[in-house]
Amino acid sequence: MKIAIIVLLSLSFVYATKFSSKYHTTGELNDELESLSRSCSFLSLSNASESPLIKEVSINRNQNKKYRAYILFGEHPRELISPESGIHFLNDLCYEKTDPKNKQILDDFELRLILNANPLSRQKVEGGEYCLRENENGVDINRNYDAHWQKVQDDVRQVTSGPNPFSEPETRAVRDSLKAFNPDIFLTVHSGTLGMFTPHAYSTDAAEQNEDKMMDILNDISGKYCPSCDVGVASQAIGYLAPGSCVDYAYDELKIRYSFAFEIYHGSINLEEQLKSRQHSSFLQLTGQQQSTKNRKFEHNNNHSCFLQTSSKYDMSKEECFDYFNPDSSQYDWYVQNWTEAYQEMLLKLVQEEQ
């Protein structure tokens, strides 16, 4: 009995140490947002949902904006690095506003962000349930949008669509927020693989409108910030169809011409490997040898992507799940900075594409 207690206490210490080293709790994320709203005159907060409480961030430095951008973080609670990259992006905009990239973004864009789209389940992850993908009702909210929705019930893979489209308060909150804001560009951020995807997820068909411009943006970003990323049509990259996703809802139902899904961390590719890949990509660009992303063969390393979950909470330990979806403390700073720069580049490239 004593041995069992010691083991449980040891595991609890490991989980707490992993989480507390760099990552924010839900309360800390909300506190930091409140702090930013006080110190950053162009940032304001509202509630996209009261129950569960989902905070919505608005950034608008002046009234003469040309473009509107919407970024969604934290749909799957175990993907802790997603909201972490979002809070870093916000801090950079607020405290480095004289940086040329941030200045142009603040001049050209009004932004709307949801940092923590699945707060109740995230709190369970904070308590050690590091494999949890679904919301409090056992629904994968990235299968619950009214975009080619199909009823799916797969508890093993944690891919359950819910009883009907928008059955979940989280997806209703995102739906209402998106409709009210009417953005020019939509991005949802996940982890579990490395990828930058365009519609569609429900079919193998590429986007009918604006595909070339979307691919121009992703080709540029991947070369600079994620040479290891699969890039292209979501379903083709993951090798599987995923109905009811937010990226298809944004593109097909709301007609948001630039709609993307990013996967920003893969547990089997460490920081050193990615840095080497990035340096190698830069060399190939200089020598004119880099393979065109449009012709890249997808690796299908996406077993744990935001669309496809071929493994389950039952065949990975809690510690393995944390490490698979999230960088450790030694890699954390590099990842949040790298992806902050990628989000900035995405917005600036849109301006170039629209000129």
Q: How far is it, in rounded angstroms, from Cα 292 to Cα 315?
A: 36
pLDDT confidence bin for 18, thresholds 50/70/90: low
pLDDT tens-digit map of 108-156 = 999 999 999 999 999 999 999 999 999 999 999 999 999 999 888 776 5
Residue 181 — pLDDT band, cuts 50, 70, 90?
very high
- Band of residue 43 on the pLDDT scale cut at 50, 70, 90: very high
Active site includes 208?
Answer: no
Which pTM does this prediction carry? 0.88
- How far apart, in whole angstroms, are the C-alpha atoms of residue 99 and residue 86? 18
- pLDDT attached to residue 7: 38
DSSP states of 246-286 as a string? Answer: HHHIIIIIS--SEEEEEEEE-TTS-HHHHHHHHHHHHHHHH
Contacts of 263 (CB under 8 A, 6+ apart): 190, 191, 192, 193, 194, 195, 196, 197, 229, 302, 305, 306
Give the list of residues 6+ apart from residue 305 with CB closer than 8 angstroms, or none: 190, 192, 193, 195, 238, 263
- pLDDT value for 23: 96
pLDDT at 9 over 60: no
Phi, psi of 138 (to 5 degrees): 75, 25
C-alpha span between 215 and 204 (Å, rounded): 16
Using left for φ > 0, alpha for ψ between -120 and 50, and beta otherwise, residue 68 falls in: beta
Helix (H) or strand (E) holding 178: helix 169-181
Q: Which of 208, 263, 320, 341 is catalytic?
A: 263
Q: Find the mean pLDDT for residues 65-77.
A: 96
Q: What is the pLDDT of residues 238-278, one digit of tens each?
A: 777 788 999 999 999 999 999 999 999 998 876 456 656 55
